Amino acid sequence: MSAVTAPVALVRRRPPASVRRKRFLLAVANHSLLIAAAVAFLAPFIFILLTSLMTNNQALSTSLWPHPIRWSNFYDVFTKAPFWRWALNTLQYSVLATIGLVLSSVPVAYALARLRWRGRQVSFLIVLIALMLPPQVTVVPLYVMWAKLHLVGTLWPVILPNWFGDAFSIFLLRQFFLTIPEEYLDAARVDGCGELRIVATVVTRLAKPAIAAVALFSFLYTFNDFFLPLLYTGENPHHWVLSLGLSEFRSLHQVQWNLTMAATLLVMAPVIVLFFLAQRAFVEGVTLTGVKG
């Protein structure tokens, strides 16, 4: 018969005082540094927020705290400028461009990563070259092309190119698809999938972080894009997007800083909300590509 012994409570060893002091100081130093960095990044945002709640006179003064707090600034933004129209145009641009970009880039990236065909390497090389080409090189010929198609003045010249794939997205997705074990695709082939179905049912599910990252990059880029909308819709305010409208806000209303800041905050809000909602995918995407967001 074996003797049953009561379990002995574990007494955790305390590290020596010098080690504890060193750890404490290190934690204080780390947190101080991070808090300072966070304050530095948050300061402009807080300044915008506070100014957006001031009267115009107060905004021009040295006062930092709004008194009284003027929430009506946000209402005024919508009444004094066609803010809804700009927001709708921006949404149209961002959503259509992002959908088109994902739908066109995923199959191309899959073909470059996983299908064996003659000319695959050359095609990938062309994608890489397109990736390295500065946009300024293509602006003039593209403008001429859209002008001949009578689409300058509308948003189509900024939306439609995304429906034919994007070099950066194709490159990013291809790199991710290469990491998907071949067995998943082979299993799907044996289980009755054709290549298109593999892309639709297997690859898109396995590559969700990469696809989410590409969609997010595209949405953020198009949402903040200023240059291309200015180039193609600058003459037609009816098709302006938020970034364009915002830059015109000051000239429209003789530098009303409180309203300008309120409008800026409204433009930033969706991007911030989207970032927090898709934070994981975004960070994974950045890690994936080694690029800055």
Partner 1 sequence: MADVRYEQATKLYSGTDVPAVDALDLEVEDGEFMVLVGPSGSGKTTALRMLAGLEEVDAGAVLIGGRDVTDLPPKKRDVAMVFQNYALYPYLTVSQNIAFPLKMAGVKKAERERQAAEVARRLGMERYLGRKPSQLSGGERQRVAMGRAIIRQPSVFLMDEPLSNLDAKLRVQMRADIAALQRDLGVTTVYVTHDQAEAMTLGHRVAVLDHGRLQQVGEPRELYDRPTNRFVAGFIGSPAMNLCDVTCEHGAVSFGGERVELGPAVANGSGAVVLGLRPEALEVGLEGLPARVEVVEEFGADAFVFSSAQIGGEETRLVARTEARRAPAQGERIFLRVKPEEAHLFDAETGQRLGA
Secondary structure class of 61 (helix, strand, coil)? coil
Tell me the C-alpha distance between 211 and 70, whole Å: 42
Q: Which phi and psi (to 5°) does residue 12 adopt? A: -70, 135
Closest CB to partner 1 among 134 and 192?
192
Closest CB to partner 1 among 116 and 292?
116
Residue identified by tokens 């990469």 is: 210
Which one of 64-72, 128-136, 190-198, 268-276 is the stretch in contact with partner 1 (CB under 8 A)?
Answer: 190-198
Closest CB to partner 1 among 194 and 293?
194
Tell me the C-alpha distance between 292 and 287, whole Å: 9
- The least distance separating partner 1 from the CB of residue 174, rounded to whole angstroms, comes to 21
Vertex 227: Cα angle to 226 and 229 (nearest 5): 70
117 lines the binding site for partner 1 (CB under 8 A): no
192 lines the binding site for partner 1 (CB under 8 A): yes
Secondary structure class of 152 (helix, strand, coil)? strand
189 lines the binding site for partner 1 (CB under 8 A): yes
114 lines the binding site for partner 1 (CB under 8 A): no
Closest CB to partner 1 among 137 and 190?
190
Tell me the C-alpha distance between 212 and 277, whole Å: 11
Number of residues lying near partner 1 (CB under 8 A): 17
Q: Which residues bind partner 1 (CB under 8 A)?
A: 181, 183-184, 186-194, 197, 202, 205-206, 208
